[in-house]
Structure 1
Amino acid sequence: MSIDIDPLCDAAGLTVTDHIENTQFELYTDRRVVPRPSPEADHYFPVDASVTVETGCIKIPRVAQVTARDADGTLLARGDDFSMPDGEYYVSIDPAPTKLYLDFSAEFSATADRETTRIEFENPTVISLGFRSLHQAPAGTITTPTDPESLMQAVSLLGSALQTTSPERSFPTLRGHPPLIEPGDEFRIPERVDPPDSGVRIVVPPEYRSLYPVVPLAYYFAAEVVPGSPARIEGDGWEHSLEPDLERRAAEVLRQSFHFDCIARTEGFYPVDLHEREATDIDLDWGALYDAPLAERLGEYLAVPFERVEPELPQWTLTTDVRPDPDNIESIPFVAAELSIVRSPETVTPASATADDGLGFFRAPSPEPADLVRGGADASTRGADVPTDRGAALDSAEFVQPEGVDTVEHAWVGDGVPLDANKATLDAYRRRLETGAVEQSRISVLVVCNDEQMAEEDEVSELYGLRDMVQFDIDVKHNLTRAEMRETLASDVDFLHYIGHVDDRGMQCSDDHLDLTQEDLEVGVSAFLLNACQSYGQGEALVHRGSRGGIVTLSDVANSPATKLGRIIARLMNSGFNLRTALHVAKRELITGHQYIVVGDGGATICQSRSGSAVVVTLSRNRDDSWNVLTDVFPNGAYGLGSLTTANLGSTQSNYYLPSLMTVDDVSSSNLREFLELEVLPIFVDGELYWSDTFTID
């Protein structure tokens, strides 16, 4: 079973652990309860696990929205302050780290304050609690020859994962993961892969560089992709050109249609107050569009010039460069699932190792006196038989310089080591789908310091585990031998934070070096930070051998800034950020952050943030001592593109869809203080990074 439900040891309530998504949360009751398994089929919505308890109250430690339906599924009430008479109800509470449903017959009330949401009953009531993992697995694997026209047929099937063609598919839980694709001699389709007839057709030349950029459109529109020219999107009675600059035009279509779907869905099952609807200057009949077939709706959307809607669009989260190579076809369902903007560069700019390139990635840093460089033992500690001039861990010819992006994050699929982008790998993408059993319900973090002169950074162990309602096991080890390091890498650890030296011989251990690129070893570590010089090769080897992903360096790094970055990454990972977003935030604080990249799955997390998404706050103080609060909310884990969020700040009531940039001006110090007490958040003031649990407003 992917979800475990256990009684709390030190309080009245339950611990719910989702081993697929690596999330854990607690819900509380007014008395000790012993969960008894109950039939999953008894719930109105599908669930993965169900238990029955008797209690007078259910409380979750977060602000959430409660939705009540009757026995027929009719929506009766939604909000965080209402009461219902005696009756049979299906109730959902959202957001929570898993889908959470309650089935009971009783009178009840729903209330919320700034920290908790409660369902309370007049008398103790028998309640069936249902939980569904937010994980979504592909329905099967499409086998296809790798020529562009055959691949077009496979891409045309990606939309089979959509659970609806209504605007509600802009919610991540209603999109589903596209079927996988693998090369083969013959075209074969699994039985369960059956796309809806959306009436949308995408016409592009039969070549990889034209096909890859429309992959997310084919998925989101459940569109048929066919060869032809000029590139365009067609519906019944309309067409929309993707010329000139197919990559740019495809990105515009994705952003514009997704934005309009998020607005139109407020006419359906989820009639929330949405900021983007209140703020739009586009006058469309949203009710009629909600009821229209997908192709007709899309035609109306695209009749609006992109230039009109562009000013109100949020900054998109991810751009993925997929090299136009048939070797990359197995990665495209994962790229589609992220609704990433896709580019397919035919040519690659090599990153020069010359001193005048302005990049600084291949030059050793200029450390302060007595500062260490993490590329090998310090000169004063080297033995006479150890050469002082070690070679680079990577040949500079392997590095490439992708074009810049307008999105928050950037990934690269294909040959070469990208500067300032996530080197995504098929191994890591596939590992997202693994659902192996987990024996314990705690988040495990291991800090390894293999150089006592860097011991200052091993204090990061104090930064992991600074969370309410999440249980961490944190261990620190020093000066491991090769054998001990091999054993450590094989252990079932959620996050490895390595502090030490790396060079072309591998990871320095107390007795020798361990080269992960050459050694045949078992890897159980899920995610990692290798905070050492030129650790890319060792990190890539960890991903190939079993890890989901990690943060590595492309060049030598000086000890002091590396220590600072290590502490920032520790706090961000502890706060539930994924690898890519954590490094994005760290780069805002440290220019040396550009010496680091993510290898593998940049979306990997070790735990979930209290609010579900990744939140970064920027503050500016006004002359009257009020504050302007700018809140960046990034998609993260199960809370993907299209999820709803709101700022629990003063009188702000509107919802926003992710990704979002929420601005609230003239916030009083008291309201801001209450807001920052809700969750440990990174805060930028005058370009400097602080943390909400230590930041002083006065």
Structure 2
Amino acid sequence: MSIDIDPLREADGITVTDHIENTQFEVYTDRPVEPRRRPESDHYFPVDASVAVETGSIEIPRVAVVETRAGDGTLLTHGDCYTMPDGTYHVGINPAPTKLYLAFDSGFSVSTTDRTTRIDLDTPGAVGLGFRSLHQTPAGTITTPTDPESLMGAVSLLGSALQTTSPERSFPTLRGHPPLVEPGDEFHAPERVEPVDSGVRIVVPPEYRYLYPVVSLAYYFAAEVVPGDAPRIEGDGWSYPLEPGFEARTAQVLRQSFHMDCLARTEGFYPVDLHERETTDLDLDWERLYDLPLAARLGEYLDVPFEAVEPELPQWTLTTDVRPDPANVEMLPFVAGELSIVRSPETVTPVDDDGGVGVGFLGGSDRSSSAATRREVPVGGVAPDGGALGDAEFVRGAASAEATRGADASADRGAVAAQTDFVRPEPVDTVEHAWVGDGVPLDANKATLDAYHRRLEAGQVEQSRISVLVVCNDEQMREEGNVADLYGLRDMVQFDIEVRHDLTRAEMRETLESDVDFLHYIGHVDDRGMQCAEEYLDLTDEDLEIGVSAFLLNACQSYQQGEALVHRGSRGGIVTLSDVANSPATTLGRIIARLMNSGFNLRTALHVAKRELITGHQYIVVGDGGTTICQSRSGAALVLNMDQRPDSSWDISTEIYPNGPYGLG
């Protein structure tokens, strides 16, 4: 049991302890109570724990919205001040440290103060209280040997985090974070990590290249993963082959089953008129499907040809390439928790010289830094119109005296370190693309384990203001410093925005160690580090405690400095892989500022920026690409595309990107 419920000792009410989220809060009553266990089925929504108490009121020490449903689940009203007549009610209180639901038979009134929310019953009596962990952190850590067959036991437990096996698990709030996995000599799973009997089995050969691509399926289906020759998914009385085209078929199963769950759930808690329910032309009994066990429902889903639903499938959010290496097993719960399509490439294409279009001089292990001078490629790679940049457009490295502040620069300054291997992953059809394994990927997020662990440590921070620091260390780049005007253009979000110029080395150290939500750095970077007013600060050599949460290092070849920021404490950031010319870098910086201010995460912000600016492909994300600095007002991040017609009217289309706590579903 992940939630404990006990009577308060010094007040009337109960204390609720969530061992997954490590949270504790109090619920007050108007008299002493002795909570007694009640069936979880007493509540309309799924709960982890349920008790009943005799009381005339329920009060929680926070301002919340109270949502009231009739006994059959019909939504009646919601708000923070209203009355309801006699009846049978299911009541939800949000937000609370856990999901909190009440069930009772009585008229009642809702009232709030500046600190509390209170429900007073017209007739005191039995009130059922149901609690469900928000489960945004793992319930525990599974220790396992890392050979593929042993690892299958850990992957089979990823689905233990699901709050339900009904189609409602397509809602992100009903999918908890999978348990963590770490290497060990023997297999061990914590008591709170319990397998879910979904009736689904995934059979794959005991090899990493087959096991890694099914981790999201194992999580979403709460499936048991077992060794076998022919890759397939099995249920009671049915089997679905995953070959030919193993990885592609695995992705199709995830997309199709998830989409059909979203259609079937309209027969459940939220009977809404869903657009896709009408346009997905399938002659299916959705009410019957909704009531089937997971395995039987999945079997009927997979009887439908993928081609029949493909036209209505939205673009999937994320593809993650996980190299088939035992060193990557600890990343699997994070990848599965994002419901990522997973590929496991055995081979990878190294980046050879490609004619100097912006990344070709990023040599592999056989390149020396002197062979990668800026004088051997068009300065800055490509211009916004696709042509080579002329000498008049200076770059954000330190290749010449005109582009340098505070120090002389030799011809080979700014070359990427010789030991850096750049790889070119296969293209993806998803919005976002992450890479797990050795090498620096072009056009993909270089995901790292330490950054994902910081996502868990960050949790849901409740803060009233978001801090943004813009640092401009070059006089010629002051135009981009105006991005400060683009942060904070939000009615409901308060920003603390500061712009600083020409920081010294000591001031830059102090800045990086400060508790800043987002650092927008404008200046020069080369192999000596980040240029300051009088000298350089090399983050790969300095032992710093980094406090900056996320960043944009808008300077030439800033990958290694950004990687060092993540290694030393940041969650993630946007960096460059090559020389970047000042003008397009300024444009991209302004685009990123607007998108981050609007609630986009790092990966999606860069995805949108790349569509607007060809030089965006000189940038990648390092660390946790899902990092945001604030939430969008609607939950999802929006892009509006506007095209003017000849008659002066406009065509407007909307692209919606799942983001942060508002994930897929």
Deviation of 1:370 after TM superposition, in Å, equals 3.9
* 1:591–1:93 distance in 2 versus 1, CA, 3 Å: farther
Residues 162-181 of structure 1 mapped to structure 2, 5 A cutoff: 162-181=162-181
* 1:106–1:446 distance in 2 versus 1, CA, 3 Å: farther
Tell me the equivalent position of 2:307.
Answer: 307
- Give the gaps of 5 or more residues in structure 1: 1-19, 22-35, 60-65, 110-118, 643-698
Question: In the alignment, is residue 375 of structure 1 matched against residue 412 of structure 2?
Answer: no
Say which SS state the counterpart of residue 160 (structure 1) adopts: helix
Tell me the equivalent position of 1:3.
Answer: none
Say which SS state the counterpart of residue 177 (structure 2) adopts: coil
**Structure 2 CA distance, aligned partners of 1:243 and 1:283?**
27
Question: In the alignment, is residue 466 of structure 1 matched against residue 489 of structure 2?
Answer: yes
Deviations 1:482-537 (A, max 9, x none): 11111111111100000100011110011211111111111011000000000000
Deviations 1:577-598 (A, max 9, x none): 0001100111111001010000
**Structure 2 CA distance, aligned partners of 1:316 and 1:279?**
18
- Give the gaps of 5 or more residues in structure 2: 1-19, 36-41, 49-57, 121-129, 363-376, 381-387
**Structure 2 CA distance, aligned partners of 1:242 and 1:496?**
45
- Code of the aligned partner of 1:466: L
Tell me the equivalent position of 1:199.
Answer: 199
Residues 28-107 of structure 1 mapped to structure 2, 5 A cutoff: 39=28, 51=60, 67-70=67-70, 74-77=72-75, 85-87=84-86, 91-92=91-92
- Code of the aligned partner of 1:350: P
User: How big is the alpha-carbon RMSD for the aligned residues of Structure 1 and Structure 2?
Assistant: 3.6
Higher relative contact order (CA 8 A, sep 6+): 1
What TM-score do you get using the length of structure 1 for normalisation? 0.77
Say which SS state the counterpart of residue 168 (structure 1) adopts: helix
**Structure 1 CA distance, aligned partners of 2:452 and 2:560?**
18
Tell me the equivalent position of 2:449.
Answer: 426
- Code of the aligned partner of 1:494: D
**Structure 2 CA distance, aligned partners of 1:291 and 1:299?**
14
Deviations 1:139-160 (A, max 9, x none): 1000000100000111011010
Tell me the equivalent position of 1:317.
Answer: 317
Say which SS state the counterpart of residue 478 (structure 2) adopts: helix
Tell me the equivalent position of 2:504.
Answer: 481
**Structure 1 CA distance, aligned partners of 2:407 and 2:76?**
73
Question: In the alignment, is residue 455 of structure 1 matched against residue 478 of structure 2?
Answer: yes
Assess if the C-alpha contact under 8 Å between 1:353 and 1:396 holds in 2: no
Say which SS state the counterpart of residue 350 (structure 2) adopts: coil
* 1:165–1:133 distance in 2 versus 1, CA, 3 Å: closer
Tell me the equivalent position of 2:662.
Answer: 639
Tell me the equivalent position of 2:123.
Answer: none
- Aligned partner of 1:496 among 510, 514, 519: 519
Question: In the alignment, is residue 615 of structure 1 matched against residue 615 of structure 2?
Answer: no
Assess if the C-alpha contact under 8 Å between 2:202 and 2:223 holds in 1: yes
Deviations 1:60-117 (A, max 9, x none): xxxxxx95225xx652325789x974358655599999979899987789xxxxxxxx
* 1:479–1:182 distance in 2 versus 1, CA, 3 Å: same
**Structure 2 CA distance, aligned partners of 1:53 and 1:348?**
52
Tell me the equivalent position of 1:566.
Answer: 589
Tell me the equivalent position of 2:187.
Answer: 187
Say which SS state the counterpart of residue 575 (structure 2) adopts: strand
- Code of the aligned partner of 1:398: D
Assess if the C-alpha contact under 8 Å between 1:350 and 1:397 holds in 2: no
Assess if the C-alpha contact under 8 Å between 1:158 and 1:222 holds in 2: yes
Structure 1 window deviating more from structure 2 (99-108 vs 261-270): it is 99-108
Residues 268-417 of structure 1 mapped to structure 2, 5 A cutoff: 268-355=268-355, 362=362, 363=377, 364-365=379-380, 366-368=388-390, 370-376=392-398, 378-380=400-402, 386-395=409-418, 398-417=421-440
Structure 1 window deviating more from structure 2 (207-216 vs 356-365): it is 356-365
- Code of the aligned partner of 2:398: G
Deviations 1:255-286 (A, max 9, x none): 00001100001111111111110111111111
Tell me the equivalent position of 1:213.
Answer: 213
- Code of the aligned partner of 1:353: D
**Structure 1 CA distance, aligned partners of 2:571 and 2:660?**
14
Tell me the equivalent position of 1:444.
Answer: 467
Say which SS state the counterpart of residue 491 (structure 2) adopts: coil
Assess if the C-alpha contact under 8 Å between 2:134 and 2:176 holds in 1: no
Tell me the equivalent position of 1:548.
Answer: 571
**Structure 2 CA distance, aligned partners of 1:288 and 1:237?**
18
- Code of the aligned partner of 1:554: L
Deviation of 1:376 after TM superposition, in Å, equals 1.5
**Structure 1 CA distance, aligned partners of 2:409 and 2:155?**
54
Tell me the equivalent position of 2:557.
Answer: 534
Tell me the equivalent position of 1:517.
Answer: 540
Deviations 1:209-234 (A, max 9, x none): 01000110000001111111111011
Say which SS state the counterpart of residue 298 (structure 2) adopts: helix
Assess if the C-alpha contact under 8 Å between 2:405 and 2:531 holds in 1: no
- Aligned partner of 1:592 among 615, 629, 633: 615
Deviation of 1:331 after TM superposition, in Å, equals 0.1
Structure 1 window deviating more from structure 2 (163-172 vs 306-315): it is 306-315
Assess if the C-alpha contact under 8 Å between 2:451 and 2:624 holds in 1: yes
* 1:101–1:570 distance in 2 versus 1, CA, 3 Å: farther
Say which SS state the counterpart of residue 202 (structure 1) adopts: strand
Say which SS state the counterpart of residue 210 (structure 2) adopts: helix
Deviation of 1:417 after TM superposition, in Å, equals 0.2
Deviation of 1:553 after TM superposition, in Å, equals 0.3
Tell me the equivalent position of 1:250.
Answer: 250
Tell me the equivalent position of 2:126.
Answer: none
Q: Which is higher, the Rg of structure 1 or of structure 2?
A: 2
**Structure 2 CA distance, aligned partners of 1:500 and 1:303?**
57
Deviation of 1:372 after TM superposition, in Å, equals 2.3
**Structure 1 CA distance, aligned partners of 2:288 and 2:151?**
35
Deviations 1:638-659 (A, max 9, x none): 11000xxxxxxxxxxxxxxxxx
Assess if the C-alpha contact under 8 Å between 1:402 and 1:419 holds in 2: yes
* 1:357–1:499 distance in 2 versus 1, CA, 3 Å: closer
Assess if the C-alpha contact under 8 Å between 1:53 and 1:127 holds in 2: no
Assess if the C-alpha contact under 8 Å between 2:59 and 2:117 holds in 1: no
**Structure 2 CA distance, aligned partners of 1:440 and 1:79?**
29
* 1:53–1:232 distance in 2 versus 1, CA, 3 Å: closer
Give the total of aligned pairs.
587
- Aligned partner of 1:557 among 580, 602, 611: 580
**Structure 2 CA distance, aligned partners of 1:600 and 1:422?**
7
Assess if the C-alpha contact under 8 Å between 2:552 and 2:575 holds in 1: yes
- Code of the aligned partner of 2:74: L
Deviations 1:147-181 (A, max 9, x none): 00000111011010011000000000101000000
Deviations 1:220-256 (A, max 9, x none): 0011111111110111110000011210010000000
**Structure 1 CA distance, aligned partners of 2:561 and 2:407?**
26
**Structure 1 CA distance, aligned partners of 2:358 and 2:476?**
31
Say which SS state the counterpart of residue 655 (structure 2) adopts: strand
Assess if the C-alpha contact under 8 Å between 2:399 and 2:409 holds in 1: no
Assess if the C-alpha contact under 8 Å between 1:216 and 1:339 holds in 2: yes
Assess if the C-alpha contact under 8 Å between 1:135 and 1:638 holds in 2: no
- Code of the aligned partner of 2:596: M
Deviation of 1:462 after TM superposition, in Å, equals 1.1
- Aligned partner of 1:603 among 626, 633, 636: 626
Assess if the C-alpha contact under 8 Å between 1:181 and 1:330 holds in 2: yes
Deviation of 1:620 after TM superposition, in Å, equals 2.6
Tell me the equivalent position of 1:689.
Answer: none
Tell me the equivalent position of 1:145.
Answer: 145
* 1:87–1:598 distance in 2 versus 1, CA, 3 Å: farther
- Code of the aligned partner of 1:237: G
**Structure 2 CA distance, aligned partners of 1:157 and 1:53?**
35
**Structure 2 CA distance, aligned partners of 1:404 and 1:155?**
27
- Code of the aligned partner of 1:519: E
